Amino acid sequence: MNHKHKKSARNYTGRSEMANMTAKERVMKFLNGEKVDRPPIFSGMGNVIKPVLDKNNIIFSRVHRDPELMAKAAAGMYREFGYECAVVPFDFGVEAEALGAKMNYYDEVEGLLYPTVKEKSVISIDDVKIPADLKNAGRIPVVTGAIKALRRELGNDVAIGTYILGPFTLAGQVKELDALFEDSFLEPEKTGKLLEKLSGFIIDVFKIYQEAGADYFTLREMGGTSDVMSPKSFKSLIKPHLVRIISEMPRPSILHICGDTNAIIGDMADCGADAVSVDHKNCMAETRQKLGDKAIILGNFDPIKVLHKGAPSDVGPAVLDALKGGASAVWPGCDLWPEVSRENMDAFMKALTNV
């Protein structure tokens, strides 16, 4: 057990020790469907917040390119608040960049902007060049470096999570969206081949992250949301690739799709992940009813409305609503917005630690 991090944990009473269960044990047992003393307080999405960045003098635009800074920012969630995981990376461009897309990190922008793809690299499937040395492609070594640094810094007590975009969402990061949507209708087999190639890449990157020491793995297929794709298109175009990825990626696995997902929740569950994650647009009670008692369902508070904009006194009741609705553990519907206040994070932790 690593004692270094326990000493620096601010206001964290070490309930884990009291229950004889480390944060990691709680997360991993939970995801494996075993009994735990209470739902773990964790997520598989990006968790980088200003109270942690400010304390460590980390500039937001730099945290995405430096493994040590990335690890420090992720570890701060446990050290400062007792959040029972550390998740890297924080943005949606890692895989696209490894495939040749050019990123904008907004170094010159005052304020806070997540990196975005500024130049896409793919017109046809032939343009998808999987790097021979994948471990060192783009920022993949930044993420693996951060995972290793987290293990070194936090020992084996805290679960380390990582995520990768799903194949359709990734396709939208490397290819112009208009063309992707049109091709998907006119020539679905062409898009199918693109997604198949990207799926193989995603599986390989997940394995690299596992080898680096990650404990659990979230596949984030935001582009599959029913806000954008019809349930019929999701089922025929995207689902087969999610099934394949999930069957070959490391476990425990979580499939996250944001937005309106009630119409596809059955198909999401059929993809075979150990857990599904949904956002605040999903009716949790309906999802629980459809998937049954045994399904591990994660969700579904609004990280902006509740955790960022809510008053500290509103945070507890709002996040507990997710559990009342049927969530197995409380997850944000998306990344935590970095400007969440220290007071609201404390209120969030207090509400869920006392469940």
Interface residue list for other proteins (CB under 8 A): 91-92, 104, 106, 109, 111-114, 116-118, 169, 172-173, 177-178, 181-182, 184-186, 222-223, 226-230, 232-233, 237, 258-259, 279, 304-305, 308-309, 333-335, 337-339
**Tokens standing for 262?**
């009630």
Residue (224 or 252) nearer to other proteins, CB: 224
Give least dist CB 2 to other proteins, A.
Answer: 32
Peptide bond into 89 cis (omega under 30): yes
Q: How far is the CB of 181 from other proteins (least distance, A)?
A: 5
Give alpha helix (H) positions in 41-157.
Answer: 50-55, 67-81, 94-98, 140-154
How far apart are alpha carbons 335 and 213 in whole angstroms?
A: 22
Comparing CB distances to other proteins, the nearer of 184 and 328 is 184
Q: Which is nearer to other proteins, 82 or 333 (CB)?
A: 333
CA–CA gap between residue 330 and residue 278 (Å, rounded): 10
Q: Least separation, in Å, of the C-beta of 188 and other proteins? A: 9
Tokens standing for 298? Answer: 């994660």
Q: Closest CB to other proteins among 153 and 221?
A: 221
By C-beta, is 215 or 335 nearer to other proteins? 335
Least Å distance, CB 117 to other proteins, is: 5
Cα distances (Å, whole numbers) of residue 57 to 60, 168, 228:
10, 36, 39
DSSP one-letter code for 337: P
Q: Minimal distance in Å, beta carbon 213 to other proteins?
A: 26
Pure H helices in 57-139:
67-81, 94-98
For other proteins, the closer of residues 112 and 243 by Cβ is 112
CB of 153 to other proteins, least distance (A): 26
Q: H-helix or E-strand containing 253?
A: strand 253-257
Specify the residue, 290 or 309, whose C-beta has the smaller distance to other proteins: 309
Sheet holding 159-165, edge to edge: 85-88, 159-165, 216-220, 253-257, 275-278, 297-301, 329-332
The least CB distance from residue 335 to other proteins, in Å, is 6
Length of the chain: 355
| Least distance CB 151 / other proteins (angstroms) | 27
Nearer to other proteins, 185 or 211 (CB): 185
Shortest distance, position 219 Cβ to other proteins, whole Å: 15
Residue with tokens 């999701």: 234
Interior CA angle at 180 toward 255 and 231, to 5°?
A: 45
* Between 237 and 273, CB nearer to other proteins: 237
State the Cα–Cα distance between residues 15 and 40, nearest whole angstrom. Answer: 11
| Burial of 158 (C-beta count, 10 Å sphere; 0-12/13-18/19+) | buried
Find the farthest-apart pair of alpha carbons in the chain and give their distance in angstroms, rounded: 59
